[in-house]
Amino acid sequence: MRVLLVCLGNICRSPTAEGILRHKLEQAGLATRVEVDSCGTGGWHIGKAPDRRAMAAAARRGFDLSGLRARQLEVDDFYRFDYLLAMDRDNLLVLEAWCPPDCRAHIGLFLDFAGYENKEVPDPYFGGKQGFEKVLDLVEAGAEGLIDELRRRLEATS
């Protein structure tokens, strides 16, 4: 099973989600069965590490993002991943616009799996420390819900 997490620049929200999801998959005993990656719809930060504020906020909760590097969405991703999950509706629109007609992946919002009414992870880039904490809260809930979904799918195919 392969999951791609998508935001705008791939330096705040989607790498945070990647790091948290990887960590939680390991705790759930699913790390060898689920591949996780992240990317941005824009290419401004290709090759760069996550935002230092995102890394610091994640580290305070025990999540290490230091080894991650930004990359841009590629058409190939629609064939390589089973789930392409956007952090917000704007990036979901980009995914839908780029999606090839023969793509069989699930395209949606990451927070569809969190059970929240508001399905968007807000971009903390231009805000303060609280924005990064809010992203962590939302992403942790989204990761838990997604793991439940992945576990069900993996059990159904075993």
Q: Is 123 a catalytic residue?
A: yes
Q: Out of 13, 51, 71, 77, pick the active-site residue.
A: 13
User: Measuring CA to CA, which residue among 45, 23, 46, 32 is closest to residue 2?
Assistant: 32
Burial call 128-149: b when 16+ CB within 10 Å, e when fewer: eeebbeebbebbbebbbbbbee
Neighbours of 112 (CB within 10 A): 17
Tell me the residue type at 20.
I
Q: Is 7 a catalytic residue?
A: yes
Q: Out of 51, 77, 88, 123, pick the active-site residue.
A: 123
Asked whether the beta carbons of 151 and 28 are under 8 A apart, the reply is yes
Q: Out of 7, 71, 77, 88, pick the active-site residue.
A: 7
Q: How far is CA 113 from CA 86, 118, 141, in A?
A: 12, 11, 8
Q: Supply the residues annotated as catalytic.
A: 7, 13, 123
